[in-house]
Structure 1
Amino acid sequence: MSYLYVNEQGARIGVDGGYITVQMKNDLLRKIPSETLENISLFGNVSITTQAMQRCLKLGITLNFFSSNGRYYGHLTPTARCRITRQRKQFAITGEDNFVQAFAREILGAKIHNQKVVLKRYLTKQTPEILEAVKQIENAERKLCRCESLDAMKGYEGIAARYYFAALSEIIEPDFKFFGRNRMPPKDPFNSMLSLGYTLLMHEIYGLIEGHGLNAYAGFLHQDREKHPTLASDLMEEWRAVIVDSVVLSLIQGHEIPIDGFQDDHETGGILLMNDTFRIFVRKYEKKLRSEIRYLQSEGRQSYRALLNQQVLLFAKAIDEEDPEIYKAVRIR
């Protein structure tokens, strides 16, 4: 199954027989067999006909709507995905401390572990500052595993994140140097790419959560926030470094993306990807999700996208059986 991203401003999505069509402003027409599509994401001034929307709903194709700079607006998804019995359990379990703490320890421990592995993969120099950062990340990982409260776990997660991003800033190409994680709006090209990637990943997981009958807004780690899918944020944590950070680092260190491929957003004061840079990023992101790895807890190779689905399904099983030990987060080597 394929994912379609449309960010050409003024493009129009329609339907022609068994195909979903994308009509560009320059009259270039692209046709994709509708049966091969699983998800379509529209960015900015992209229109879609009623007939195309109906086709997507009939075939179970999710439509995601974003601003031109990647801000998420919402989605159109088929009915019949809600499983009320599972959701009742989900809401009840969010108040059970034992479940929440066990789940948090597993997810956040994996997040820190994966940050450490990604950082080490890109280390080309070992300055005292970088060696200290690695030491502090490993220390936070050990201490988090022994924590008995969610607040303490989040504290060690925060410590690890600060050292992780500080070390990344030291090892990336000088033109892309940044000063800590910043967002809403991102203030530099590195953070701009992170924010876009995290947005795409969050709403990919959002769709999987709905597909397995769960409620994306009833989370466990993150505090309830109106209009924010906290469960998607929870289940994304183990994947941030593995997928998005790795994509951004690969683009920068491989000189695949130019520093002049970004522009100021005069409305927000942030930094945005220009159209060509956006396309480079999305192609790289999709290639990553389609790439296969040998996962520690399964035989054979699986794509990252298949693993995302597997993890959401595993979490749904943990909810059904009210057993947090069922959920095992992905830890890369």
Structure 2
Amino acid sequence: MVHLYISDSASRVSLSRGRIIVCSDETGETSHPVDTVDSVVIFGRPSMTTPFIIEMIGRQVDIQLFTTDGHYQGRISGPGTTYAPRLRAQVQRSDDPVFALTIAKRLVSAKIRNQIALVEAHVADRDRVDKPLQAMRHSLTWIEQAVSISEANGFEGNAAKAYFTALATLVPSDFTFKGRSTRPPKDAFNSMISLGYSLLYKNMIGAVERHGLNAYIGFLHQDSRNHATLASDVMETWRAPIIDDTVLRLLSEGEVSRDDFTRRDDTGAVYGNRDNIRSITRAFGNRIARPAAYLADDPRRYTFQYALDLQLQSLVRAIEESDPSRLADVDIPRGTATP
């Protein structure tokens, strides 16, 4: 499937004879069969025709809208899938402390395992990351014994600090990275993963809703205004294998330059330019289209979107059967990163 990313504000997107036509002053005209397009992400202010928008809505393909520097603005989507008994079950399970805690612990544990796998895959000298990895494994052990979601979150927070300490040793020296910073990102690496997480989060919302679940009723994250907590819950397991790994590869392969970023004097925020955004969105699109082994106890290789659908189908079964063990774990093989 094609994941269409458009970052030239002078572009025009239209529909003609079953094909999506993108006209750009920079790249000329490109076209894609409408049947092959799985998502559309717009940066800046390209124009879109009404027939194109209506076709995407009819096909339940969300159009995600971002500013030129990667800030999310909103989306154009259809009414979605609504199945009342499933929604009732979701609300009941989210209010069940035992069910919610079990799901939360499984998601957090899978997240940490995938972070460990990513670090082990990228590091050349294990001694440099031995202490952070030990701390992450320690947190993983304690999460299994957590008696509340807040306690599990505390152990996850400790693991996150250790993880980003390890990541700092993997980022090339000309890209300064001393730890996670958000709202705003304070360095180029944080800027890139923040954009990647935003793209992934919006993808998650659409995927959750396609499965007849409410993206704003979760298990791990606490309710807050305009926060799709279930999308955030599911996303936790995918951060390392999809976004962090992709950004590390872009840096190691020299696809990104420090000149691609600017710092705002008033806030200290660092944002990529249009070329950088194109590099990230292109790499993200390539990654989610590339088959890999994502699911625990399943050696078969799936695209990200297909594996995500399998994960969400298993979550639906867990909710409807009130059985957390039905949830499929996203668990990339230890010591390997997605190819």
Q: Over residues 53-91 of structure 1, what are the superposed CA-to-partner deviations in whole Å (9 max), with x where a residue is unaligned? A: 112122332211112222222222223512222112111
Contact kept? 2:18, 2:34, Cα under 8 Å: yes
Secondary structure of residue in 2 paired with 1:176: coil
Contact kept? 1:170, 1:177, Cα under 8 Å: no
Alignment correspondent of 1:93: 93
Secondary structure of residue in 1 paired with 2:39: strand
State how far apart, in whole Å, the 2-side matches of 1:31 and 1:331 are.
Answer: 36
Alignment correspondent of 1:120: 120
| 2:326 pairs with 1:330 | no
Deviation at 1:312, TM superposition (A): 1.3
The letter for the 2-side match of 1:52 is: F
Query: How do residues 150-169 of structure 1 correspond to structure 2 at under 5 angstroms?
Result: 150-169=149-168
Contact kept? 1:217, 1:229, Cα under 8 Å: yes
The letter for the 1-side match of 2:165 is: A
Query: How do residues 210-229 of structure 1 correspond to structure 2 at under 5 angstroms?
Result: 210-229=209-228
Structure 2 vs 1, CA of residues 68 and 267 (structure 1 numbering), >3 Å: closer, same or farther? farther
Secondary structure of residue in 1 paired with 2:263: strand
State how far apart, in whole Å, the 2-side matches of 1:14 and 1:168 are.
Answer: 42
Deviation at 1:110, TM superposition (A): 0.8
- If the length of structure 2 is used for normalisation, what is the TM-score? 0.93
What percentage of aligned pairs have identical amino acids?
32
Alignment correspondent of 2:273: 274
Structure 2 vs 1, CA of residues 299 and 134 (structure 1 numbering), >3 Å: closer, same or farther? closer
Contact kept? 2:120, 2:126, Cα under 8 Å: no
The letter for the 2-side match of 1:326 is: R
Alignment correspondent of 2:34: 34
Unaligned runs of 5+ in 2: 334-339
Query: How do residues 1-333 of structure 1 correspond to structure 2 at under 5 angstroms?
Result: 1-26=1-26, 28-127=28-127, 130-265=129-264, 268-294=267-293, 295-333=295-333
Structure 2 vs 1, CA of residues 169 and 58 (structure 1 numbering), >3 Å: closer, same or farther? same
Structure 2 vs 1, CA of residues 135 and 212 (structure 1 numbering), >3 Å: closer, same or farther? same
Structure 2 vs 1, CA of residues 267 and 68 (structure 1 numbering), >3 Å: closer, same or farther? farther
Deviation at 1:26, TM superposition (A): 4.9
The letter for the 1-side match of 2:31 is: K
Contact kept? 1:193, 1:273, Cα under 8 Å: yes
State how far apart, in whole Å, the 2-side matches of 1:13 and 1:278 are.
Answer: 19
User: Structure 1 stretch 42-51 or stretch 191-200: which is displaced more?
Assistant: 42-51
- CA RMSD in angstroms comes to 1.7
Q: Over residues 271-319 of structure 1, what are the superposed CA-to-partner deviations in whole Å (9 max), with x where a residue is unaligned? A: 1111112112112112211222234322532122211111111111111
- If the length of structure 1 is used for normalisation, what is the TM-score? 0.95
State how far apart, in whole Å, the 2-side matches of 1:84 and 1:213 are.
Answer: 9
The letter for the 2-side match of 1:244 is: I
Contact kept? 1:106, 1:328, Cα under 8 Å: no
Secondary structure of residue in 2 paired with 1:237: helix
The letter for the 2-side match of 1:194 is: I
Q: Over residues 157-204 of structure 1, what are the superposed CA-to-partner deviations in whole Å (9 max), with x where a residue is unaligned? A: 000110110111123210113121011111101000110111111111
Secondary structure of residue in 2 paired with 1:292: coil
The letter for the 1-side match of 2:163 is: Y
The letter for the 1-side match of 2:180 is: R
State how far apart, in whole Å, the 1-side matches of 2:222 and 2:247 are.
Answer: 28
State how far apart, in whole Å, the 2-side matches of 1:231 and 1:121 are.
Answer: 29
Alignment correspondent of 2:336: none
Unaligned runs of 5+ in 1: none
Structure 2 vs 1, CA of residues 27 and 101 (structure 1 numbering), >3 Å: closer, same or farther? closer
User: Structure 1 stretch 173-182 or stretch 68-77: which is displaced more?
Assistant: 68-77
Structure 2 vs 1, CA of residues 267 and 83 (structure 1 numbering), >3 Å: closer, same or farther? farther
State how far apart, in whole Å, the 1-side matches of 2:190 and 2:27 are.
Answer: 35
Secondary structure of residue in 2 paired with 1:20: strand
State how far apart, in whole Å, the 1-side matches of 2:111 and 2:67 are.
Answer: 29
Secondary structure of residue in 1 paired with 2:262: strand
User: Structure 1 stretch 11-20 or stretch 266-275: which is displaced more?
Assistant: 266-275
Deviation at 1:213, TM superposition (A): 0.8
The letter for the 2-side match of 1:167 is: A
State how far apart, in whole Å, the 2-side matches of 1:285 and 1:255 are.
Answer: 16
User: Structure 1 stretch 206-215 or stretch 262-271: which is displaced more?
Assistant: 262-271
